[in-house]
Structure 1
Amino acid sequence: MKLLTAAIPCYNSAAYMRKAIESILVGGEDVEIIIVNDGSKDETAEIASEYEKRYPTIVKAVNQENGGHGSAVNTGLKNATGMYYKVVDSDDWLDEEALLNVLKVLKEMVTEGQYVDMFIANYVYEKVHENKQKVINYTSALPQHKVFTWDEVGQFQQGKFMLMHSVIYRTELLRECKLELPKHTFYVDNIFVYQPLRYVKTMYYMNVDLYRYFIGRDDQSITEANMIKRIDQQLRVNKIMIDSADVMSIESEKLQRYMIKYLGIIMTVSSVYLIKEGSEESLQKRDDLWKYLEDKDSELSKKVSAGVLGTTMKFKSKAGHSIVKMGYSISKKIFKFG
């Protein structure tokens, strides 16, 4: 069995996917790389096949009809044989030295019979065209160099929540929680991180800058224009997150608090873009979203409303615009567009 499966969802990724693949190959036989060609119309399939032929014991190429990023993540998970599962987007890459250090620690823990549910490492926003980098670490919130539980977790700073880039899940845990992301939907990475959390009992944090998150292409899903254009997909993700966990029944107070804050951030992001779009239809969608949460769990709705910008996201008057700008600022810090 492989130690780590790295799934690379690819759609028309021929121009940049090699960097992602090469950065993971350094892991040698400890890693399995599953390249999922999601119905690409360029040379993605040929490149994937080329790597599979060159590295038959490491690389697996899987072709499927276009189903979107979530569908490709699902396919990677179905085909994974590694003990741990990591998603690497085709325009991103892993730091090779950091990957080797992560694999070393994972191997040591497995040898000792310690199979943590979630492994966390830092990620780096790479604004390549501006030659700027921003490291997101968790040193203020998470213990280092030890296996720990939610009881030992501290406060996460604003804009430093765990994203898909920072987490490596135990593969069987993802299967046990029946994770299946929706097809043809952007922003599903929030479901990927959020839904399995209530199944996570043990964690390990390593303060290394593993994941390099490329920022700068105009067609990226996290640009403001695309967030507004695809707001219905953001809302779909938001509602799936609401439905995916009975948050108020979670025994761990710290995990419950974290999931409330995480959901609050996503509710804020959804509300901000609906308000910025500004039409009566969008404002109605905002109201419907908050009602959806309230109907699902009134206690959870109160907790979410009390945090972040909560109730202010429901303002209907123009006087609330400054509050919306604050919410927009938070969104920019989370998604690093602009």
Structure 2
Amino acid sequence: MQKTKLLTVTVPCYNSQDYMRRCVESLLPAGEEVEIIIVDDGSTDDTGMIADEYAEVFPDIVRAVHKENGGHGSGVNAGMSLAKGTYFKVVDSDDWLDKTALEQLMSKLREFEGKTKTPDLLVCNYVYDHLEKEKAHAMNYRNIFPEEELCTWNEMGHFRPSQYLIMHALIYKTEVLRRSDVQLPEHTFYVDNIFAYQPLPNVSSIYYMNIDLYHYYLGREDQSVNEKVLMKRIDQQIKVTKIVSRLVDLREVRRKYPKLAAYMCRNISIMMAISSIHLLMIQSEEAYQKRQQLWNEIKKQDKRLYKKLKYGTISGFTYLPGRIGGKVTLSGYRVAKKVVQFQ
């Protein structure tokens, strides 16, 4: 008799043959209570063959899915549509989970089974891991959520400037994702921002585990977070920023969860800041115009949000007037980058 799947882990893969084994091998110790869905997103290397090998050797744990190329979001969508686990997590194919932390997580999920009140969202720490430089930096949420107890958004603390909820830290209840109608756009980068944002108002309870679960690999030159890559893909960043700004009515959220609404506004602010700064770094007239257009669209869409972003959050400092204002913004960004040296 097959065990109940407590957790579905989706691993979107595109030409991941060189590193996907490290990822999958880190998940297998969870045993048959985890469902690993490897999504081969139209790879042209041996990714699909490797996925099939794991599915053949571990038929009660691993499922291989082959599809036409649709991008990272398409792979996540495929995993969500097929998920049988009570909870759902995405692990990128070049990342991995810590063995001891995974054991602790699975033990906790077993405790939740059969209980009346279980969390809609589990939050765990993640680690920026630069293997080649032998540098690692863990991000925790000890100042945000009480440890090992159910809480609501109204009970959370204040986020520090370097803290925000990213996909790597989050484990949603699968039914919450489906209730939130999360469908990530295809052929689009940076869609993890949508995954980490859209479902939050449908989360009634949160459970924080102070464990370093997720290892986020840094070092590949083609990574989306690489500064040069982000500048090349700036239109994708702008696209996702616009999508996120339209996803949720923050006024409705504020009535029930004022702290969550403030956080979600801050999240948009961070995305606006990233877009604005990298457009300034491109230093072309077209880029300056795109920056202006982005802010104008936000203003036209929601004047209240625009004022909050421009005058009440960090993004306002990235939209200072004139070329001099742009130089001030870039100087501030370079100083901040030296202070936060995790890349």
Same fold (TM over 0.5): yes
User: What 5-or-longer segments of structure 1 have no aligned partner?
Assistant: none
Structure 1 residues 236-255: aligned runs within 5 Å = 236-250=239-253, 251=255, 252-255=257-260
Alignment of 1:180-191 (within 5 A): 180-191=183-194
Alpha-carbon distance, 1:181 to partner: 0.6
Aligned equivalents of 2:338 and 2:172: distance in 1? 27
CA distance in 2, matches of 1:335, 1:279: 28
Show the counterpart of 2:136: 133
Cα distance in 2, alignment partners of residues 330 and 237 from structure 1: 24
Task: Report the CA distance between 1:291 and its aligned residue.
Answer: 1.3
Question: C-alpha deviations, 1:171-206, integer Å up to 9, x for none?
Answer: 111111110111111111111101111111100000
Question: How many aligned residue pairs are there?
Answer: 337
Instruction: Specify whether residues 41 and 335 from structure 1 end up closer, same or farther in structure 2 by C-alpha distance, changes over 3 A only.
Output: farther
Greater shift after overlay, 287-296 or 185-194? 287-296
Counterparts of residues 23-34 of structure 1 (less than 5 Å):
23-34=26-37
CA distance in 1, matches of 2:103, 2:206: 19
Alignment match, 1:286: 291
What is residue 172 of structure 2 aligned with on the other side?
169
Deviation at 1:334, TM superposition (A): 8.1
Distance in structure 2 (CA, Å) of the matches to 1:265 and 1:334: 15
Distance 1:135 1:160, change over 3 A: same
2:307 maps to 1:307: no
Structure 2 CA distance for aligned equivalents of residues 241 and 10 of structure 1: 24
Is residue 57 of structure 2 the alignment partner of residue 54 of structure 1?
yes
Q: Kindly provide the amino acid, as one letter, of the partner of residue 48 in structure 1.
A: A
Q: Which moved more, 1:313-322 or 1:50-59?
A: 313-322
Whether the 8 Å contact between 2:320 and 2:326 is mirrored in structure 1 is no
Shift, 1:243, TM fit: 1.1
Paired residues of 2:36 and 2:63 also in contact (CA < 8 A): yes
* Native 8 Å contact 1:83 1:170 kept in 2: yes
- Give the match for residue 79 of structure 2: 76
Distance (Å, rounded) in 2 between the aligned partners of 1:28 and 1:313: 50
Question: d(CA) in 1 for partners of 2:233 and 2:151?
Answer: 38
Q: How many angstroms does 1:117 deviate by?
A: 1.1
Following TM superposition, the consecutive aligned residue runs of length 4 or more in structure 1 with deviations greater than 6 angstroms are 331-335
Unaligned runs of 5+ in 2: none
Show CA shifts across 1:100-145 (max 9, x none).
1011112212332333111000000001011011000011111111
Match for residue 232 of structure 1 among 235, 243, 260: 235
Q: How far did 1:160 drift? A: 1.4
Looking at structure 2, the residues matched to 199 and 118 of structure 1 have their Cα atoms a distance apart, in angstroms, of: 10
State the match for 1:263 in structure 2.
268
Q: Hey, what does 2:152 align to over in structure 1?
A: 149
User: Partners of 1:85 and 1:333 in 2: how far apart?
Assistant: 34
Distance 1:303 1:331, change over 3 A: farther
| Residue 218 (1) aligns with residue 221 (2) | yes
Look up the equivalent residue of 1:315 and give its one-letter code: P
Deviations 1:278-317 (A, max 9, x none): 1111111111111111112111111122211415424222
2-side partners of 1:300 and 1:239: how far apart? 12
Question: Structure 1 residues 58 and 330 mapped into 2: Cα distance closer, same or farther (>3 Å)?
Answer: farther
User: Which residue of the other structure, out of 94, 100, 116, is the alignment partner of 2:119?
Assistant: 116
Find the partner of 1:202 among 170, 189, 205: 205
Q: Which amino acid aligns with 2:249?
A: D
Counterparts in 2 of 1:162 and 1:320: CA distance versus 1, 3 Å: same
Contact 1:269 1:328 in 2 (8 A): no
Contact 1:286 1:314 in 2 (8 A): no
| Residue 320 (structure 1) shift | 3.6
**AA partner of residue 235 (structure 2):** D
Whether the 8 Å CA contact 1:127–1:133 is kept in 2: the answer is yes
Report percent identity of matched pairs.
45
- The one-letter code of the counterpart of 2:175 is E
| Structure 2 CA distance for aligned equivalents of residues 332 and 294 of structure 1 | 32
Q: CA deviation at 1:82?
A: 0.5
| Aligned amino acid, residue 113 of structure 1 | T
Distance 2:12 2:286 in 1: 34
Distance of aligned partners of 1:194 and 1:121 in 2 relative to their CA distance in 1, 3 Å threshold:
same
Shift in CA distance, 333/160, structure 1 to aligned 2, threshold 3 Å = farther
